[in-house]
Structure 1
Amino acid sequence: MSSEFQELIEFLHSDHPAVKQVALQSLVGYSQGHAEQFKANDYQGVKDLVATVMLGTPRVNVENALTILINLCDDRDILDMLASNSMFVAMIACEICDLENKQADLCCMLLANLAKDDHIVSIFDATKKLKNTEVFKSEKLIDSLMDCFVKGATGKLNLFSNFDYLAFFFADLSRFRRGRDYFVTEQPYDGLFPIQKLLPFTEFVDSRIRREGVASTIKNSLFDTDKHSKFVLDPEINLLPFIMLPLAGPEDLEDPEEIFDLPEELQLLTPDKRREEDLDIMCTHLESLLLLTTSREMREYMRTKSVYPIVRELHKNHDDQTIQERCDRVVQMLMRDEPKEAGDDAKVKEVDSDDEVVEVI
């Protein structure tokens, strides 16, 4: 890499605001694929970027610094350095919850990338009494982030941000036991389960990012098989319809009894009902159904709720091979004969979610 590029990184440490601003603007385009250069001199370039963000002004410097940090997260060493700084993580969360912050969505992207690192669990211990108590009634930052995601979906909470990328943040939190426990624990400040607040976004047509992140959060949460009954049978959560709806199309079921057995949310679908169009999201929902078939109790319950007919119609009306294979696996689990003795249930291994990070161009 040229000495000119290294000089730009060194200028991030300059005491002259104009010099630092030019350096930040110039480095945005170089931040993808050149992480090693920012690690020179004990990561001084990264430290200067963090200091710029934490300073908070001027706005153009903060925006450029955030963008560079987002792109540098594809380097595991830099990612670990940033995520292990619990003060920095909490500060980014607070910036997201500043409802006048024009860079809130960039902060959401950065937080989503930081959640690829195991140190992100520090967010569960982070607290801050935010000034907007009408919106934020809990001092736990994880609760405030959930409030931003749910209440900000329409774009009215913060006119400059939609908070969509928090969906990926929640998805990666669900990789951890502490995260999965959080999603199914009733929160004292509002009396709701966090997963309960995410479920309606499985059908949120305005944002593929929200649908994808929520679908992954559901699937990851289902790796804890002991919580399946809570997810499915607790009427406050009532998970099953939210997985089935994206898989359901406008086709009429062949048997009227199949319709009556469906969850109420699926019994009166209109002729213009459309399935989820994103193949990855659809596969994720099918994998969630497959995880639910781990126990005999859930298999028997799913049979009573016409899960098989919905999957059957999807198989008939979709020619993608991966979708059909997922459908076949679900059908095999639901239609098989049950053994006389329990104990043959499949054991599900926990897997990590994708390691892809967000990049800003």
Structure 2
Amino acid sequence: MPTELEELVGFIASPNANIRLLATENLVPFSASQPALFKTDELTPIKHLKFLIRDHPKIAEHALTCLINLTAEKDVLEYVATDDRFLGILLGLLVEPEEVNANLMAMLLANLTKWDGLKSLLDRKQPAPEKLKSDDRVINQLMDLFVKGADGTYNKHADYDYLSYVFADLSKHEEIRHYFVNRQDYDDVIPINKIKVFTEHKSDIRRKGVASIIKNAAFDIPSHPAFLDEDDVNILPYILLPIMGGEVYPEDEALEMLTDLQLLPPDKQRDPDSSNILTHLETLTLLTTTRAGRDLMRSISVYPIVRETHLRVNDEAVQDACERLVNVLMRDEAEGEEIEGGAATAEEEDDIVEV
């Protein structure tokens, strides 16, 4: 005999909308605590939940929440992420300017990009809504959605912050790192230039994801000259400002710093999330891979900023990263000598999103 909960799972597919609403709403907590309930009959309940993302907005909300929680399970993640038709429906709904569940869809997509096969988004196409003013490449639509939709400016129901986690996971892949560092034909903009402005955004999620994207993009060594060029990407102010507070530096150090970093207000706060500070320090270390990168950082007084970060951030991993970077920057180099920059690994958002 099926249990009461197993019967409730069966009601997900009821032809009666009120029953579907009641069933999905009551099953949300069990999607996190008892995922096995949804794995019966070759994952048929998951199939029904996927269908419901186009149902009444409240039913779709509960179905999406269940799917977000259930994709913490590897078998469910693979089942959902490899469903090309479902992915097309999800992406089509996500970019619509009136979609009330867009944030939940972005969260689900952030989980799905844990599946390596989702790097195929780079080549995927779909028509773009007129309001988005994008082209037909899904990756460009998601980028424009993330930028134009911040703070509810594209869709009053969504801020799309979780798309930063989508991009962070995708940028583990070399071909998608290339996307971030190369000028796009449709708008003549380098994508990394669109997102760098969010390293000090009010959203913890957006800051964290963007920090990871920039770090992963920095693994593309040939792009370092553009990263460091003030007339190109000019990334250094955007990764140094988040690790700085309102410290007062000696005049000889301050005058050598980038203009954007001088005369910061005394109430300037560094990023409160030490993991973001660590990511930015690792990006700086990656950018010391070339002699030109190291010489530039020495010339603009990056060392004093790292020194103050080491003193003021009580986090062992951050302090270790500061020491590694200082060891590279303070080393004497003979003319023409090349040394190894600090090592790091491509970064993904560690946690599956759950609601």
Bin of the TM-score, shorter chain as denominator length: over 0.9
- Structure 2 residue identity aligned to 1:278: D
Structure 2 residue 194 is matched with structure 1 residue 202: no
Alignment of 1:101-112 (within 5 A): 101-112=99-110
* Cα pair distance change 1:252/1:355, threshold 3 Å: closer
Moved more, 13-22 or 67-76: 13-22
Aligned length: 355
Alignment root-mean-square deviation, CA: 2.0
Aligned residue for 2:150, secondary structure, equals: coil
Partner residue in 2 for 1:100:
98
Secondary structure of 1:275's match? coil
Q: 2:310 aligns with which of 293, 315, 326?
A: 315
| Partner-residue secondary structure (3-state), 1:203 | coil
Question: What SS class does the counterpart of residue 116 from structure 1 fall into?
Answer: coil
Partner of 1:250: 246
- Cα 1:253/1:349, change in 2 over 3 Å: closer
Partners of 2:314 and 2:51 lie apart in 1 by 52
Q: Letter of the aligned partner of 1:323 in structure 2?
A: V
Q: Return closer, same or farther for 1:335/1:235 CA change in 2, 3 Å cut-off.
A: same
Please give the TM-score of this superposition, normalised by the length of structure 2. 0.93
Question: Are 1:9 and 1:38, in contact at CA under 8 Å, matched by a contact in 2?
Answer: yes
Q: Distance in 1 between matches of 2:339 and 2:305?
A: 26
Structure 1 residue 164 displacement after superposition = 0.9
Equivalent AA in structure 1 for residue 288 of structure 2: T
* Map of 1:181 onto structure 2: 178
Return the letter of the residue paired with 1:327: C
Greater mean deviation of Cα atoms: 4-13 or 184-193: 4-13
TM-score by length of 1: 0.92
* CA distance in 2: counterparts of 1:171 and 1:91, whole angstroms: 22
Partner of 1:270: 265
8 Å Cα contact 1:296-1:345 kept in structure 2: no
Offset, 1:237? 0.9
CA displacement at 1:73 relative to structure 2: 1.1
Match of 1:77 among 55, 75, 79: 75
The equivalent residue for 1:285 is: 280
Q: Distance in 1 between matches of 2:227 and 2:256?
A: 19
Can you list the C-alpha shifts for 1:143-164, whole angstroms capped at 9, x where unaligned? 1111111112132221111111
CA separation of 1:19 and 1:284: change in aligned 2, threshold 3 A: same
* Offset of residue 129 of structure 1: 1.8
Gaps in structure 2 of 5+ consecutive residues: none
Structure 2 SS opposite 1:89: helix
What does residue range 342-361 of structure 1 map to in structure 2 within 5 Å?
Answer: 342=337, 344-346=339-341, 348=343, 350-360=345-355
Q: Aligned with 1:12: secondary structure? A: helix
Tell me, in whole angstroms, the C-alpha distance in 1 between the residues paired with 2:215 and 2:137.
25
The answer as to whether partners of 1:183 and 1:195 remain within 8 angstroms in 2 is yes
Q: Is contact 1:89–1:123 with CA below 8 Å preserved after alignment?
A: no
The Cα of 1:75 is off from its aligned counterpart by 0.3
Equivalent-residue separation in structure 1 for 2:192 and 2:240 (angstroms): 16
**For residue 325 of structure 1, what is the aligned residue in structure 2?**
320
Q: Per the alignment, in what secondary structure is the counterpart of residue 180 of structure 1?
A: helix
How far apart are residue 94 of structure 1 and its match? 2.1
Whole-Å Cα distance in 1 between the matches of residues 288 and 127 of structure 2? 42
CA distance in 2, matches of 1:344, 1:314: 24
Q: Which residues of 2 match residues 66-215 of structure 1 at below 5 A? A: 66-132=64-130, 134-204=131-201, 206-215=202-211
Gap runs ≥5 in structure 1 = none
Looking at structure 2, the residues matched to 355 and 311 of structure 1 have their Cα atoms a distance apart, in angstroms, of 25
Cα shift readout 1:7-34 (whole Å, capped 9, x = no counterpart): 2222223333333222212211100032
Equivalent residues of 2:289, 2:342 under 8 A apart: yes
The answer to whether the Cα contact below 8 Å between 1:167 and 1:210 also exists between their aligned partners in 2 is: yes
